[in-house]
Amino acid sequence: MKMRIMNPDKQQFTCLLTLITLFVFPLSAQQKLTLDVCRTLALEQNREIRIAQNEMQAATHARKSAQTQYLPKVSFGGAWLRTGKAIQPLENDLFLPVVPFNTIDPATGRFNPEALKDPETAVNTLVFNPETGAPMVDQAGNPIFKNYAMLPADKLVFDHKNSYYARFTVTQPIFTGFKITEANHIARRAENIAKEKEVLTRAEVVAKTDEAFWRVVSLQEKLKLANAYEALLDRLVTDLENMYAEGIITRNDVLKAQVKQNEAKLKTLQAENGCALSKMALAQIIGMEESEIEVDTDTMEKPPLSMPASFYQEISPDNRAEITMLKEKAAIMESKRNIERSRFMPDVALTGGYGWMNPNPYNGLRSEFGGNWSVGVMVSIPIFTWGERRHDLHAAKLKTKNVQLELNEAREMIDLQIRQNRYRYSEALKKAEMTGLSRKQAEENMRMAKENLMEGRSRLTELLEAQLQWENASSEHIDALVEMRTTLLELDKSTGEIYNHLY
């Protein structure tokens, strides 16, 4: 998405100029607000923009958090355990056979059964049956030795009821099936979406400000028109009362004019109420008091001399923030699909640490802390999950296709929106031109009807009708001028030109 970013010095100068406008020339004196000033105030004061900025900062922190998944994690843990009974590993006394030294293999340090084949060694080690001369065996078939060392069960007791454990652990992921990589992609895309959402929120605030501004302009102009129409009828009633006093007209003519006069007063009251409500809406957007609102209407009568460049150029829907957000969403769904696929792969991590235990297992289980280090590799290989991973992968693929369909549909709808707004804007320009001509014609018709009435060549009803036509034509011209501005705003929104007014 292309945006025109204002130079920081220029932006500071614009804000300073706005502050000077608001405080050096107090709004209590009804200093008129231009559209640009209203936009600046709205962008500075609007709560929705601050919310979007906070969400953007939160997404930035989430992206930075995801980057830390590449780094090793260091943790510390400890435990205390108290047991109610002493630990006795042996159920019964243990008898260990005693063998001569020459049965021990000097290379391995283990008992060598082949040494018992020596008759002299066997006689000195094993018990023989005096009748058969064969070595005696127990019920399990093991030979019976002459000498045994007894290990009493009641002596091998660990009476440490309090046990302590503490450990520092370092874990470094080596391979996770690209889960961490894709999680970082998702976090980065989410940050981009948050940035685009902030831009979109600014554009919506500018659009709401423009709509509220032109609504105030329209109702202020209609209030002026109502006052002018009421003044016309006031002068007419005065003239008719003088003519009635001279016997030129009847009382009925005066009453007809007075009825129109009362209707005009009601229209004035309605215009005042509508203007007050529209100012309240604008004040809420730009963060000001309703009593301080007075907009500049001098530019309303100045229609554009030519069509905007966006009216003729081929505009790509990709200029819109909504399309950029959908593209990022499609990339996120692609990463989520890759994460589901990575669940079929093993997870490998390197782990190491240093721990302390009390009782000390490295020094006769004394009541002291003994430490030791360890290094290892952990591997987790998923084997069978009843099809859970396969179903999740299919669901992720379908969601990815849906986002792509949404993106294509959004492009088509934006293209249609641009075409519709171009037609509406060209119609609004023509309507403003035609209603301006109708207003001039109605004003001339009203002037001629008044002259004819004063000269006795027409009736009062013709003048009243001409005045009403002038009032209606003027009101329609005001609506057409405001419609011309609002349709141009809609065209800028659909083409993305509105982003040039955000900074």
Looking at the predicted structure, is the pLDDT value of residue 74 above 90? yes
What's the rounded Cα separation, in Å, for the pair 111 and 125? 13
Looking at the predicted structure, is the pLDDT value of residue 20 above 50? no
Tell me which amino acid residue 443 is: E
Outline which parts of the chain fall under CATH 1.20.1600.10: 8-71+177-346+381-501
Q: What is the pLDDT of residues 416-450, one digit of tens each?
A: 998 899 899 889 989 988 998 999 999 999 889 88
Do residues 295 and 32 make contact, with C-beta atoms less than 8 angstroms apart?
yes
Number of DSSP helices (H) and strands (E) in the chain, helices first: 9, 6
CA of residue 455 relative to chain centroid, distance: 72
Question: Phi and psi at residue 26, in whole multiples of 5°?
Answer: -60, 140
What's the rounded Cα separation, in Å, for the pair 271 and 95? 111
Looking at the predicted structure, is the pLDDT value of residue 5 above 60? no
Do residues 23 and 262 make contact, with C-beta atoms less than 8 angstroms apart?
no
CATH code for the structural domain at 74-87+159-175+347-380:
2.20.200
Question: Phi and psi at residue 204, in whole multiples of 5°?
Answer: -65, -35
pLDDT band at 285; cut points 50, 70, 90 = confident
* Sign of the dihedral through C-alpha 114, 118, 121, 127: positive
Mean pLDDT of 385-390: 90
Say which residue, 302 or 11, is predicted with more confidence: 302
State in Å, rounded, how far the first CA of the chain is from the last one: 15
Outline which parts of the chain fall under CATH 2.20.200: 74-87+159-175+347-380
Whose CA is closest to 38, among 241, 281, 397, 266? Answer: 281
DSSP state of 385: -
Q: What is the pLDDT of residues 26-59, one digit of tens each?
A: 443 456 788 888 888 888 888 889 999 999 999 9
249: which 2 tokens?
């007209």
Q: What pLDDT is recorded for position 303?
A: 56
Looking at the predicted structure, is the pLDDT value of residue 457 above 50? yes
Residues 6+ apart with CB under 8 A from 39: 206, 209, 210, 501
CATH code for the structural domain at 8-71+177-346+381-501:
1.20.1600.10
What's the rounded Cα separation, in Å, for the pair 94 and 150? 6
pTM comes to: 0.73
Do residues 276 and 294 make contact, with C-beta atoms less than 8 angstroms apart?
no
Transcribe 424-450 into DSSP letters.
HHHHHHHHHHHHHHHHHHHHHHHHHHH
Torsion of CA 178, 180, 184, 185, to 10 degrees: 20
Helix, strand, or coil here: 163? strand
